[in-house]
Chains A and B, each alone.
Chain A
Amino acid sequence: MHTRKGKLATAVVAAAAAGLLLAGCSGGGGGNETGGVTTIQFWHRTFTPVENAWYADIVKKFNAAQSEVKVVDTEVPADAWDQKMKAAQAAGKAPDIYTHSGSIQDAVNAGQLHELNGIVSDDALGQIIDSAKPVSAIGDKYYAYPLLLEPQTVLFWNKDMLSAAGVDAENGPKTWDDLFAACAKITPTLKSGQYCISPASDAVTFAWSTVGQQYNFSGHTALTDDWTAPNINDDGYKSLMANYKKLWDEGYMAKQALAAYVEGKDFGEQKVAFKVSGSWMMSEIGSDYKDLLTKTGIGAFPDATGSTDRTATTLGNFKWVVDAKSKNAKAAGAFLEWAIAGDPANLVPFFVDTQFTKVPVRQSVQEAVAASDEAADAPWSSVIVDDIAPTAIPEPTYPWDVSLAVGTAMESVMKGAASTDAAIKTAEDAIKKVIQQQDLPSKAPKN
């Protein structure tokens, strides 16, 4: 009996050891310190080829410029980002420093982000322009350093297609009525498979990309200021939904998206005369559809009435953050400061190669980019930086589920799956549930 138990115990211990070994063999994860060199892990998403090249280059330059910190760079496909990051966080192996988009509120509440005060110099933090502060700081504490800001709703148009239909190709439509009038003229001139416009068309995209339009139409976003109730049952929201329904019903847009909102494939292949996307689409046109670059018009998204004086876009962002559990936060902070908060020359290639479609968050970088030789050949740069970005509103800080409820209502109305009143009622119920479950009034912005 004794021997048998002994053998059994040996087998169990051996198998457990094998299991632990297997469990320990996971990729990625935090950095470490060996031989005086601190190794840190840096994850960033796959963007356009020129952006990916810039990321690889900046890491190489930093590693060459000093010998105390070694940055290991990992490019993660954008669609795998969320699950890869979640898995790493669950295993306690999140990278030391990584890119982050959207609002920081939830991540800060969850204790996910390391404070930058103390690991990035006050001087560098102080250079962040005011319009980027809502996405980088809460109160006087900084949690993220923005690399860029970019309008998320911009109207692009194919000048040749507009001209062919007798529509003003130099100035895009200023109001929704202008847009409808343009589409009425353009549609008869199109071939089979071509459409007047390619806007957002699914709930998820509506949720994040139309917050600016919601503000444009109604003067507010989806919650009351104190976050105690939904605020979407008004004429503004109803007429925004009705406008999308008209685009759908009149056949001005395809009944199934021809390409994702964030990409310019349908516009590049000249399947649409107008395309709604973020300002970043211009860099895709520049890299993948060079012939179209001079034929592409760009302007602010149409206004509800022409006299609201309100923007129709939010200002998206990409930031760098340091993980709260990083054991090498100082090294991560040093890398961050060197790469995006130090010499403006490090950042100029990024903004030039992305065709001036993004806004730098430091005055010194904005000036350096504007002074580059290539800037003179990119007339659209001023449209984005001077006309659209300054008035754009930040992305909402309320939970994603609130935005998604509105997005779902918009898609329902557009596709005729529900009446406007019924869709708004459903969205209100969903938002009330989020308010109650997540106790939103206690999390509402104080100012």
Chain B
Amino acid sequence: MQQMAMPTTEATILPPGRQARRRHRRFAYRDGNIAYLLIAPAVVLLGIFVIWPAVYAAFLSFQDWSFYKDPQFVGWRNYTNVLTDPLFWASIGRGFLFVLMTVPVMLVLAFLFASLVVAVSRRFAGLLKVSIYIPTIISTVIASIVFVLIYNYSGGLLNAFLGIFGIDPVAWIGDPAWALLAIAVPAIWLGMGLTSLIMVAGMVDIPGEYYEAAAMEGANWWQKTFFITIPQLKNIVLYLLITGFVAAIQQFELPLIMTQGGPLDSTTLPNLFIFNHFRNDINVGYSIAAALLLFVVLGTVSALVFRFVNSERLVD
């Protein structure tokens, strides 16, 4: 936006002769060859590993293909099979539920954590930041296994702890009522680190003068938070909302390792649903069509989030 706005500004303040010279000078410094050369590897690799597979996937989604016989054109059949499959829609719905269970909690916790970090001494803030970031560098697979041990029905940490208070063991990952929540907890734990650090970076960037001015007017913490911090973090929150949404709805390793999608499909998130079809189906058309439809769903929701939460440049 800034770059596009510049010529208009220049046009209003520079005389015509200087404008021409300036344009010429800028053109002289532009080196198209180098620019093309620099982006060529990325474009070619993207072409090979992203664009071509995507085009080929779209082609295969209209075929019946088992890797061994030539693909057979089946028209829209794979798509109608997916769209009329209640399990597909249930998995998409579950994906949204999982987003609701994880993203808002993560944002609120990260916000509170970031508020704490910017309020304490530099040294203690460093310690806090390292502690919150540690789960981020732990592999999801390891985290899944650790949480399975915690949720173990007979001998697991959580049930043993509840047992102290005389509470009967709970089938955390065996009961459809608890299983999705049981998976949301490690998801939040794993995602908190990065979310918090981005939030901290956003808060540090807010000019201190705002808070000083507010303090002079007698504003308390709540007022500063609601009238300065939150509005100033709007773009950060938007970014975290979009990335958090996409990451949560695409969550795959946690249910795969912890519950294999059960009990009673209660943790079969969209990607796991597609993966299970890919693993079990002899023909791959259904899974590809489902993956492309999920892509449409994700794209639509991201566009809607952008539509309703407009990204604006901060006014300095």
Which A residues are closer than 8 A to B by beta carbons? Answer: 3-4, 7-8, 11-12, 15-16, 18-20, 23, 82-83, 86, 89-90, 92, 106-107, 109-112, 192-195, 201-204, 254-258, 271, 324-325, 400-401, 408, 411-412, 415, 417, 433, 437
Given contact pairs A7-B37, A89-B67, A256-B173, A204 touches B262 in the complex (Cβ within 8 A): yes
Kindly list chain B residues whose C-beta atoms are within 8 Å of the C-beta of A83: 275, 278-279
Q: Identify which of B33, B66, B280 contacts A110 (C-beta below 8 A).
A: B66
Residues 53-81 (chain B) with a chain A CB within 8 angstroms: 66-69, 81
| A258 touching B153, Cβ below 8 Å | yes
- The minimal Cβ–Cβ distance linking B227 to chain A, given in whole angstroms, is 48
| B48 touching A19, Cβ below 8 Å | yes
Q: Which of B8-16, B38-46, B236-244 contacts A (4 or more CB under 8 A)?
A: B38-46
| A202 touching B48, Cβ below 8 Å | no
Distance of A8 Cα from B37 Cα, bound (Å): 6
Distance of A255 Cα from B159 Cα, bound (Å): 12
- The residue on B at minimum CB distance from A113 is B68
Kindly list chain B residues whose C-beta atoms are within 8 Å of the C-beta of A401: 280
Distance of A254 Cα from B155 Cα, bound (Å): 12
| A15 touching B40, Cβ below 8 Å | yes
B265 within 8 A of A: yes
Q: Identify which of B36, B153, B264 contacts A412 (C-beta below 8 A).
A: B264
Chain A to chain B contacts (Cβ below 8 Å), 16 pairs:
A15-B40, A83-B278, A83-B279, A110-B66, A112-B67, A201-B174, A202-B260, A203-B262, A204-B262, A254-B153, A254-B174, A255-B174, A256-B153, A324-B68, A411-B264, A437-B81
Distance of A411 Cα from B155 Cα, bound (Å): 24
Distance of A327 Cα from B262 Cα, bound (Å): 41
Kindly list chain B residues whose C-beta atoms are within 8 Å of the C-beta of A92: 67
- The minimal Cβ–Cβ distance linking A251 to chain B, given in whole angstroms, is 10
| B176 touching A415, Cβ below 8 Å | yes
B32 within 8 A of A: yes
Q: How many B residues face the partner with a CB closer than 8 A?
A: 43
Given contact pairs A4-B33, A106-B282, A255-B171, A417 touches B264 in the complex (Cβ within 8 A): yes
- The residue on B at minimum CB distance from A323 is B68
| B154 touching A86, Cβ below 8 Å | no
| B66 touching A19, Cβ below 8 Å | no
| A12 touching B48, Cβ below 8 Å | no
Distance of A8 Cα from B263 Cα, bound (Å): 55
| B48 touching A107, Cβ below 8 Å | no
Distance of A136 Cα from B314 Cα, bound (Å): 70
Inter-chain pairs besides A15-B43, A110-B283, 18 sampled, C-beta below 8 Å? A4-B33, A8-B33, A12-B44, A15-B40, A16-B44, A16-B48, A19-B48, A19-B49, A92-B67, A203-B265, A254-B153, A254-B171, A256-B152, A256-B174, A271-B154, A411-B264, A415-B175, A437-B81
| B173 touching A23, Cβ below 8 Å | no
Kindly list chain B residues whose C-beta atoms are within 8 Å of the C-beta of A201: 174
| B40 touching A256, Cβ below 8 Å | no
Distance of A412 Cα from B67 Cα, bound (Å): 35
- The minimal Cβ–Cβ distance linking A166 to chain B, given in whole angstroms, is 24
